[in-house]
Amino acid sequence: MACMSRPLLAALLFIPFCFAQTANYDLVIRNARILDGAGTAWFQGSVAVQGNRIAAVGVLGRHQAAETIDAGGQIVAPGFIDTHSHSRRSIFEAPAAENLIRQGVTTVIEGPDGSSPVPLKPFLEKLAGTPISINFGLMVGQGTVRQAVMGTENRKATPEEIQKMKEITRQAMADGAFGLSTGLFYVPGNYTPVEEVIELARVAASFGGIHTSHMRDEADGILDSVRETIRIGEEGGLPTQLTHHKIIGAPNWGRSVDTLRLVEEARARGVDVTIDQYPYTASSTGTAAMFPQWSLSGGGKALAERLNAPESRRQIKQVIVDRIRIDRGGGDPKNIQLASCDFDKTLAGKTLADVTAARGMAVTIENAAETAIWIQSSGGCSAVYHAIREDDVERILKYPHTMIASDGGVIVFGRDVPHPRNYGTFARVLGRYARERKTLTLEEAVRRMTALPAARFRIMDRGLLRPGMLADVVVFDPAAVADKAEFGKPHQYSVGFAHVVVNGKPVLKDGRMTGAMPGQVLYGPGRQSGR
């Protein structure tokens, strides 16, 4: 209510005359416990939306609303931001992204692990012309850039080739990439000297970009890999991030103490380094991860030639045996579960032990290595690898500069047997780690999913519930939110989310998808500044 004094009457009666003003909103979420994303305690109130932006937060005065949602005392928070997503694989096939919406994700950053579309512009234009439910941003992948210039050759780039890679990176940043991603574990990123990566990082830095890295080694070489990731940020002049940070293999368990110390020491000397993480004790990647990277140079034909040569085959098999025994295999072929296999769909869900037995061999690590060679020679599969310890997961999660990322993506419901992180990452943090284990407070868990990643990727108009911010909003029951997806039975939506609003439009309402597709393509700071 606004009060306006009429001068004459006020002078005579000393009484202000008040005229009621009524605000008009498109949407009001009322009866809410508001966690605004900043990490502070919740407070009671309402969130009002006008168009695609938040108009008011708190106790509203007189108002009218075209649509009202009663939160019923549940938590109302900013939409969650997934900083490591593989959603381009299926976004055009499943644009509703229901597996993400039902765990509160409203924004994804794609192009991780050194892999992205190149050039970016055609993909972004296609995406902008496609109705989708979520907001979608892209990184430019160093591995894809290198492959575009020099294929999968295992050698240093020439000065001329480096210049071409810098030009591609510069164009990608101008087209709207948020930064440079590296996958130095994968081919051809693994063949890249760090000095070459730094050259491209400096280009991304000139556009205000960030660097994220699937590091060169997350097992025996984890400490050197953390140092390398920090060096890329320090010498490249840009923020740098250990993405999906984890410690693989029993001999390395506990080393998160040392990796976090390295991060903290770097921050103390002024290096802007952070972490993201998914809350599971299993990773997921292709079966090529069991092979030595040198064996993959030149593609499938070159690999076949090496496997046909007795000495190189022996060397390759020995690395696979070692990676099953002390690395991603966790010491047992049953710890490697196939997620999807294009060459034989029936293999999805079977373990490496299952397939080895089905091929008529005793289930030994050596025989499992032979099965892995057969699988990769047939076209390869994606797989889930159980080789991470819970203590490291929680220690990394507790670190204040760790944000949440799924390393998953948009999923076609019922297809294959993917990692449950695709369905449960964000709900799992809220349910298991905030409510049950008290690893984080609820307020801090929400901050790790909202304001922290928004600031990190310079998405300055999302991640907080404040007037003027874009209206990405989630409503969930903190007592009921939970992940339901399981290893082997992943196609189960998370529960506890009643409403999800994207750019002011309800996409999930009363637990049901509305069919609305208000998602937007997001562009990085280089494009936004007009460079």
Residue range 368-378, pLDDT digits in tens: 999 999 999 99
- 116, 139 Cβ separation under 8 angstroms: yes
pLDDT of 529 over the 80 cut? no
283, pLDDT greater than 80:
yes
Residue 379 — left, alpha, or beta (φ > 0 → left; ψ -120 to 50 → alpha)? Answer: left
Give the Cβ contact number of residue 378 at 10 Å.
15
Q: Which DSSP letter does residue 50 get?
A: E
Hey, what are 97's tokens?
């992204």
What's the mean pLDDT when you consider all of the chain?
95
- For the whole model, what pTM was predicted? 0.94
User: What pLDDT was estimated at residue 143?
Assistant: 98
Three-state DSSP state, 205: helix
Amino acid at 321: V
Q: Nearest 5°: CA angle at 389, between 387 and 414?
A: 60
Question: Over 80: is that where the pLDDT of 361 sits?
Answer: yes
Looking at the predicted structure, is the pLDDT value of residue 428 above 60?
yes
Question: May I ask the CATH architecture of the domain 113-242+244-274?
Answer: Alpha-Beta Barrel (3.20)
- Tens digits of residue pLDDT in 9-46: 333 333 333 345 899 999 999 999 999 999 999 999 99
Instruction: Tell me what pLDDT residue 201 has.
Output: 98
Q: What is the pLDDT of residue 528?
A: 57
Residue ranges in 214-274 assigned as alpha helix (H): 222-236, 256-268
* pLDDT (tens digit per residue) in 138-184: 999 999 999 999 999 999 999 999 999 999 999 999 999 999 999 99
Q: What is the pLDDT of residues 32-42, one digit of tens each?
A: 999 999 999 99
| Mean pLDDT, rounded, for 108-131 | 98
For residue range 396-421, list pLDDT tens digits in order.
999 999 999 999 999 999 999 999 99
**305 burial via Cβ count (<10 Å: 0-12, 13-18, 19+):** exposed
Residue 434 pLDDT grade (very low, low, confident, very high; cuts 50, 70, 90): very high
Of 48, 83, 53, 78, the C-alpha closest to 66 is 48
Backbone angles phi, psi at 137, to 5 degrees: -120, 165
For residue 531, pLDDT beyond 80: no
pLDDT > 70: percent of the chain: 95
Structure tokens at 251: 């001999």
Mean predicted confidence (pLDDT) in 190-216: 98
Q: Which CATH superfamily is domain 1-104+405-455+464-518 in?
A: Urease, subunit C, domain 1 (2.30.40.10)
- In this prediction, residues 422-437 reach a mean pLDDT of 98
Please determine, for residue 103, whether its predicted confidence score (pLDDT) is greater than 60: yes
Output the pLDDT for position 20.
53
Give the Cα separation of 133 and 502 in Å (integer): 7
Give 6's pLDDT tier (boundaries 50, 70, 90).
Answer: very low
Please name the amino acid found at residue 136. F
pLDDT band with cut points at 50, 70 and 90 for residue 288: very high
Domain residue ranges of the chain, discontinuous segments joined by +: 1-104+405-455+464-518, 113-242+244-274, 285-386
Q: Is 160 exposed, middle or buried (0-12, 13-18, 19+ CB in 10 A)?
A: exposed
What pLDDT is recorded for position 526?
A: 87
Closest CA to 30 of 513, 473, 392: 473
Q: Write down the number of H helices and E strands in the chain.
A: 17, 23
Mean pLDDT of 354-379: 98
For the segment 77-98, the average pLDDT, to the nearest whole number, is 98
